[in-house]
Structure 1
């Protein structure tokens, strides 16, 4: 699919060094942690989903606002690592108004969540359970965000993906059924031919 989705993730912590510079740390995603997306489906992330994504240029924003940049992997101010638990991040807060404000808000506990923006490039669906289970196997990400109101705020894209998966599964089932019918016709034809040959003898 081409649209990006946003998902809630884990709590954010802040630490400061001797100079007073502050760094936010946390997990932007946790593997095998099922999350309900509205009333529509359950979603989980498989280990290895971010292995390619973290090689790209990713930004850390405040509230998904592109005008409020807190860090960037290309600049070295944002660091992303995929470990056994999930996607861990560290972002060195800039000495700017927004950087100071975010650090203060996190220290006070007023802001404690984050979110990430992603596009699934490989996924699987289990439509035999209710609600369906979506497993994200490979993802592209362009940003993570420190957010005031972490929420599953974009289920429509996931719903389109669910509908596409169901349509694909239906197409595969139809194709399999058609293949069975062809095979059955071929076997019946071959049996009739063998019967004609035996009669001729």
Structure 2
């Protein structure tokens, strides 16, 4: 994850998720399992939704694809994101080197489960709907959360994932802000000289 701060705005880019890479263990009602996103799942999701939201810690909206603040693409590694953020809180956290990584919110459309002896089940997400990606200020240890919502007697499960192995090394490039006093030229001594010459 690369974070650059210039002119009061932060540019944040890197991998949200690496496809075909197993997660850390996740626990839900089925018990413990490992999870991976199939190659092409993000690409299909981006074709279905061309306006994924950019959020902060899955809560506050910072922008979206259509306003140009978020770029997303799946390449041969995984889901790559580039965000430009002018939100004061996020910029301040970036300057303090307190941003931790990426996460994404999704709904499962198609998955498969592979059971192996003496091993946790492996869930492969073959088709998903991605609703948002989030910039995190909390440590992303493959966060696995689920929010159940009922709609027309069907359960709609919103899941959130963050994979610290996708984030990799955090690289910061912060433009140093000068104090206002330093920015203002101090011409007092010249005024003093001119006052003496005119006296």
TM-score, structure 1 as length reference:
0.62
User: Residue in 1 aligned with 2:32?
Assistant: 40
**Larger relative strand fraction:** 2
Paired residues in the alignment total 140
Structural mapping, 1:138-149, within 5 Å: 138-149=127-138
Correspondent of 1:133 among 122, 125, 142: 122
User: Residue in 2 aligned with 1:190?
Assistant: none
Larger gyration radius, structure 1 or structure 2: 1
Q: Distance in 2 between matches of 1:138 and 1:144?
A: 17
Note the C-alpha offset of 1:119.
1.1
SS state of the match for residue 121, structure 1? strand
Structural mapping, 1:115-130, within 5 Å: 115-129=103-117, 130=119
User: Residue in 2 aligned with 1:64?
Assistant: 58
Contact kept? 1:44, 1:134, Cα under 8 Å: yes
- Give the root-mean-square deviation of aligned CA atoms: 2.3
Contact kept? 1:77, 1:91, Cα under 8 Å: yes
Q: Distance in 2 between matches of 1:155 and 1:20?
A: 34
Correspondent of 2:85 among 74, 84, 93: 93
Q: Distance in 1 between matches of 2:129 and 2:147?
A: 18
Contact kept? 1:70, 1:91, Cα under 8 Å: no
Contact kept? 1:14, 1:107, Cα under 8 Å: no
SS state of the match for residue 84, structure 1? coil
User: Residue in 2 aligned with 1:25?
Assistant: 13
User: Residue in 2 aligned with 1:53?
Assistant: 45
Contact kept? 1:14, 1:103, Cα under 8 Å: no
- Which of structure 1's runs of 4+ aligned residues deviate more than 4 A? none
TM-score, structure 2 as length reference:
0.63
Note the C-alpha offset of 1:155.
5.8
Q: 1:153 to 1:32 in 2, by over 3 A?
A: closer
Residue ranges of structure 1 left out of the alignment (5+ in a row): 1-11, 161-201
Residue ranges of structure 2 left out of the alignment (5+ in a row): 149-154, 156-199
Residues 1:83 and 2:75 are matched in the alignment: yes
